[in-house]
Chains A and B, each alone.
Chain A
Amino acid sequence: MTTAPVAGPADSAQSSVPETASQLTTTQETLYFALRNRKLVIGSAIVIALLAFAIVGPFIARHGPLDYTGHLSWAPTTRSGHWFGTTLLGQDVFAQFATGLRLAFLVGVVGGGIAATIAMLIGFTAGYRGGALDEFLNMITNIVLVIPTFALLLVIAAYLQVRSVMVEAILIGITSWPWAARAVRAQTFSLVSRDFVDMARLSGRSQMQIIFTEIAPNMSSYLFMMFILLFGGAVLIAATLDFIGLGPSGTISLGMMMQLSVQNAALQLHLWWWFLPPGIAIATLVGSLYVMNVGLDEVFNPKLREM
């Protein structure tokens, strides 16, 4: 499980290639490369497919995820719509899987989104303002960075009597931002010293305006890639938390499926349809996100493009 970035640094390539009379605008050119990048296309396709499954799945499932159908340990079959089989306790694996997938996306978007927002707030401020404020924010970042996220979440979640997915996502969001904040700060630093920012300052724009209209757009590709990594990280952390027994109450998630299957000796009983799908889903989702990330890096960073 990685909560730190997997990809290398995205350097702002200052090419010494003479100006080209490109017939394409930058957006068109980006799109051109984007659609041609195999990793990006395949990665996004898989993520979208999983998302579609997550949205539609619970509706087409014949049973509720927590319903006890009385059909114990069935292998995948078309009977009674148990396409993914049933658990030892008689619950429909397909319904659980679809629900769990939904929750995974929810956690990823909310958790990743919150983490990204905090990272941007802190990173932009520290990078733009510098000075004492930067030192202070740096210290906070370092502290939250060193505290092992997982252990902290463990302690907090353990004491909650009722756990919800939203709370889990929020907790993950407010603890997994440090590496991203550092990255945003570093990028902001390098942009802040560029001329167009001075121009904006001279023309009297406020700091917030400058950050949002000059700096952020130049980093938009980087920010998006960062969000993808945070999304993936959130999904993994949530799955592990759920597995340890801190999953949301009143519903079922992919991590919980794995926990229950192990708890109920599904491994020894060869109930592979119970513990395989949740893991495959997570690995596929997160893996596709990572692959998308690599593809995006190639699209946005001309140096990496194959000619």
Chain B
Amino acid sequence: MSLVVDDLRAYYRTLAGDVRAVDGLSFTLADGEIMGLAGESGCGKSTLAKALIRLDTRMRYIGGHVVLDGVELPIWDDALMNERRFRDVSIVPQYAMSAMTPTRKIGRMIRELLESRGVDGHALEPELLRRLELVGLDPGVLSLYPIELSGGMKQRVVMVISTLLDPSLLIADEITSALDVSTQKAVAETLVEFRDRGFVKSVIVITHDLSILAQIADSILVMYAGKLVEKASTAEIVEEPLHPYSRLLISSLPEVGVRYDEHKLAGIPGRPPQLLDPPSGCRFRDRCPLATERCAKDPPFVRAGDDGRFVACWEAAC
């Protein structure tokens, strides 16, 4: 197992109390697996990404374990964690457009970054050039300033930088959200290529766009209100979702090639619960068509299907 997350809990401190953004998340990721992390805004997926690499001052690590390649990630300790960043765990951030400092040429920035991490930039240069070429960038890009690149180019540069040290775990946080459709496809395919060539071992792709996941992800983990709702292979989630939330999510997507004459696109009525004081039992019950009394009392524990599926629902068929 490449990555094992066990009962991870991370809250945000606010004046009114703790917002339980990630509240007991457990899953595993195999070597070479691209897992999509899907869910509505505010479900905790970005929090998870941040928790795995860098807690910021507003977040508090509450409990749980994260084990990468058999070694525990000390995510509660900034200094200890720093050793693992970039080398073992890396991130392609949401803000790739502005992720590079505007007053340094890109090549120089990369070199200084590597040096500060104790990596010989000179030795790595041929590999860097090779990878730039792989993503379709001219090596001359290194002597440009970030402002001289287009959005898509910046995205690709950041992807190359983030994976330069061949991390075991790569977190891709909404990397396609700010791009047009054709660039989205290119970026998504680049991600797969990186995995195929062994530049990264496992990838967590965070997005609210299920269609991207359907293209590139091996498995999908659906989150809702800070909790895991379902995790299964992509094919299973798309064709045969078990959890009522996943089902509603999938069915709210329009299908290509189908004509919608008198068919209304179904959204999911209602809003996610406030995470300051989450409801007891299952957090989806207020919007769930299958909710029963039991759902209000006991939080559904994650039920593993015999094929490695996880579903957190009392009513889902196994």
- Direct A/B contact, Cβ within 8 angstroms: yes
Assess whether B14 is in contact with A20, with CB atoms less than 8 Å apart. yes
**Separation in Å of the A200 CB from the closest CB of chain B?**
24
**Separation in Å of the A199 CB from the closest CB of chain B?**
20
Assess whether A18 is in contact with B275, with CB atoms less than 8 Å apart. yes
**Separation in Å of the B172 CB from the closest CB of chain A?**
17
Which of A18, A21, A22 is the one whose CB lies under 8 Å from B12?
A: A18
Which of A20, A23, A29 is the one whose CB lies under 8 Å from B19?
A: A20
Assess whether B46 is in contact with A21, with CB atoms less than 8 Å apart. no
B265 to chain A: which residues have CB within 8 Å? Answer: none
Assess whether B58 is in contact with A20, with CB atoms less than 8 Å apart. no
B12 to chain A: which residues have CB within 8 Å? Answer: 17-18
A307 at the interface (CB under 8 A from B): yes
Apart from A17-B14, A307-B13: 9 A-B pairs, beta carbons within 8 A: A17-B12, A17-B19, A17-B58, A18-B47, A20-B14, A21-B16, A21-B277, A22-B14, A29-B15
Assess whether B276 is in contact with A21, with CB atoms less than 8 Å apart. yes
Assess whether A19 is in contact with B274, with CB atoms less than 8 Å apart. yes
Interface string of A24-58 (1 = CB under 8 A from B): 10000100000000000000000000000000000
B282 at the interface (CB under 8 A from A): no
How would you classify the secondary structure of chain A's contact residues: helix, strand, loop or mixed? loop
Assess whether B42 is in contact with A22, with CB atoms less than 8 Å apart. no
A19 to chain B: which residues have CB within 8 Å? Answer: 42, 274
B58 to chain A: which residues have CB within 8 Å? Answer: 17, 307
**Separation in Å of the A12 CB from the closest CB of chain B?**
15
A-B CB contact pairs (8 Å), 16 listed: A17-B58, A18-B19, A18-B21, A18-B42, A18-B44, A19-B42, A20-B14, A20-B16, A21-B274, A21-B277, A22-B15, A22-B16, A24-B15, A24-B16, A29-B15, A307-B58
Assess whether B46 is in contact with A16, with CB atoms less than 8 Å apart. yes
Interface residues on A, range: 10 to 19
B21 to chain A: which residues have CB within 8 Å? Answer: 18
B13 to chain A: which residues have CB within 8 Å? Answer: 307
Q: Which residue of A has the minimal Cβ distance to B225?
A: A18
Chain B residues proximal to chain A, CB less than 8 Å: 12-16, 19, 21, 42, 44, 46-47, 57-58, 274-277
A24 to chain B: which residues have CB within 8 Å? Answer: 15-16
**Separation in Å of the B82 CB from the closest CB of chain A?**
22
Please measure, in the bound complex, the distance between the C-alpha atom of A217 and the C-alpha atom of B292, giving whole angstroms: 46
B276 to chain A: which residues have CB within 8 Å? Answer: 20-21
**Separation in Å of the A272 CB from the closest CB of chain B?**
48
Chain A residues proximal to chain B, CB less than 8 Å: 16-24, 29, 307
**Separation in Å of the B4 CB from the closest CB of chain A?**
26
Q: Which residue of A has the minimal Cβ distance to B44?
A: A18
Q: Which residue of A has the minimal Cβ distance to B12?
A: A17
A22 to chain B: which residues have CB within 8 Å? Answer: 14-16
Please measure, in the bound complex, the distance between the C-alpha atom of A18 and the C-alpha atom of B46, giving whole angstroms: 10
**Separation in Å of the B207 CB from the closest CB of chain A?**
15
**Separation in Å of the B138 CB from the closest CB of chain A?**
33
A307 to chain B: which residues have CB within 8 Å? Answer: 13, 57-58
Q: Which of A19, A24, A29 has the most CB of B within 10 A?
A: A19
Assess whether B46 is in contact with A20, with CB atoms less than 8 Å apart. no
**Separation in Å of the A2 CB from the closest CB of chain B?**
26
**Separation in Å of the A306 CB from the closest CB of chain B?**
10
B19 to chain A: which residues have CB within 8 Å? Answer: 17-18, 20
A21 to chain B: which residues have CB within 8 Å? Answer: 16, 274, 276-277
A17 to chain B: which residues have CB within 8 Å? Answer: 12, 14, 19, 58
Please measure, in the bound complex, the distance between the C-alpha atom of A20 and the C-alpha atom of B14, giving whole angstroms: 8
Please measure, in the bound complex, the distance between the C-alpha atom of A23 and the C-alpha atom of B15, giving whole angstroms: 10
B42 to chain A: which residues have CB within 8 Å? Answer: 18-19
Please measure, in the bound complex, the distance between the C-alpha atom of A20 and the C-alpha atom of B11, giving whole angstroms: 12
A23 to chain B: which residues have CB within 8 Å? Answer: 16
Please measure, in the bound complex, the distance between the C-alpha atom of A281 and the C-alpha atom of B117, giving whole angstroms: 53
Q: Which residue of A has the minimal Cβ distance to B21?
A: A18
**Separation in Å of the A305 CB from the closest CB of chain B?**
9
**Separation in Å of the A11 CB from the closest CB of chain B?**
13
**Separation in Å of the A254 CB from the closest CB of chain B?**
42
**Separation in Å of the A228 CB from the closest CB of chain B?**
26
Q: Which residue of B has the minimal Cβ distance to A23?
A: B16
B44 to chain A: which residues have CB within 8 Å? Answer: 18
B277 to chain A: which residues have CB within 8 Å? Answer: 21
Please measure, in the bound complex, the distance between the C-alpha atom of A153 and the C-alpha atom of B14, giving whole angstroms: 50
Q: Which of A16, A18, A20, A24 has the most CB of B within 10 A?
A: A18
Please measure, in the bound complex, the distance between the C-alpha atom of A29 and the C-alpha atom of B19, giving whole angstroms: 17
A20 to chain B: which residues have CB within 8 Å? Answer: 14, 16, 19, 274, 276
Q: Which residue of A has the minimal Cβ distance to B273?
A: A21
A18 to chain B: which residues have CB within 8 Å? Answer: 12, 19, 21, 42, 44, 47, 275
Please measure, in the bound complex, the distance between the C-alpha atom of A77 and the C-alpha atom of B16, giving whole angstroms: 55
Please measure, in the bound complex, the distance between the C-alpha atom of A274 and the C-alpha atom of B265, giving whole angstroms: 81
Please measure, in the bound complex, the distance between the C-alpha atom of A22 and the C-alpha atom of B274, giving whole angstroms: 10
7 closest Cβ pairs, A-B complex: A21-B274, A21-B276, A18-B42, A22-B16, A20-B14, A17-B12, A20-B276
Q: Which residue of A has the minimal Cβ distance to B43?
A: A18
Q: Which residue of B has the minimal Cβ distance to A32?
A: B15
A16 to chain B: which residues have CB within 8 Å? Answer: 46
Q: Which residue of A has the minimal Cβ distance to B14?
A: A20
Q: Which of B13, B15, B276 has the most CB of A within 10 A?
A: B15
